[in-house]
Amino acid sequence: MKIYISVDMEGITGLVDHTHVDSDKHNYERSRIIMTDEANHVVTSAFKSGAEEVIVNDSHSKMNNLLIERLHPETQLITGDVKPFSMVQGLDESFSGAIFTGYHARAAQPGVMTHSMIFGVRNMFINDVAIGELGFNAYVAGYFGVPVIMVAGDDCAAREAEQLIPNVTTAVVKEAISRSAAKSLTPAKAGQLLQEKTALAIKNRDKVKPLTPPEKPLLSIEFTNYGEAEWANLMPGTEIVQGTTIVRFHAKDILEAYQAMLVMTELAMRTTFC
């Protein structure tokens, strides 16, 4: 059995604002220790539950946050930027299940530090389905026939996961009070919860079906201002919906849609304000 783990940062225990997740801020170094330990609880439980191979993908910001020296010695870590498939780099049909830990809810929804890839995105859609990072990553897993068996993060991320993926196991390590406040478990208590939930998720993995993406999906991204939409529209094959800040792209499959999203959001971040 082979397990894939994607680790984001905003949904990690005790982390509530940008000072925890920005490498230039004062809380970051202690936060990455908590993040690494939290990932390691999931990894260790996966091995104890029968996994023969565990691949961890660092999925936050520049994707070089996890401290490899603190991970289970049998872990393989995908780290660094740039990755062709970002938060799901290395995921393919060889895995028995995927686990998303440290995840947050999508933009324009309640939850701690909610967003969708960049703060310039208001909404993202695949066809008519509103998705964030969690949903998009689950669609890529589904393309390869891999079920997302567990999602860990705040209560809002857990609800989003349960709405998208029937029978998914969720681990709630904090409850959102606002976008920058939460009632959180301690790292020790969260670690116990994550180990228990990981074991349960692996035991029940056959009850979870992959989130199958549509064929030839229509990707729509609504940006917060027109300048961002203009930058995203520089990618060939895109169009701006007249009178909106929505940029659309007709993709041949979900993998092309995912890479289009990465390019569009990277371009949109180039917007400057005056």
Residues with catalytic function: 115
State residue 230 phi and psi, 5-degree precision: -60, -45
State residue 224 phi and psi, 5-degree precision: -80, -20
Q: Are 233 and 241 in contact (CB under 8 A)?
A: no
Report the C-alpha gap between 219 and 40 in whole angstroms: 34
Helix (H, G, I), strand (E, B) or coil at 124: strand
Extract the tokens encoding 29.
Answer: 């170094």
CA distances from 31 to 19, 102, 242 (A): 9, 12, 43
Extract the tokens encoding 70.
Answer: 């603190």
Strands 148-154 and 218-223 come out as: unpaired
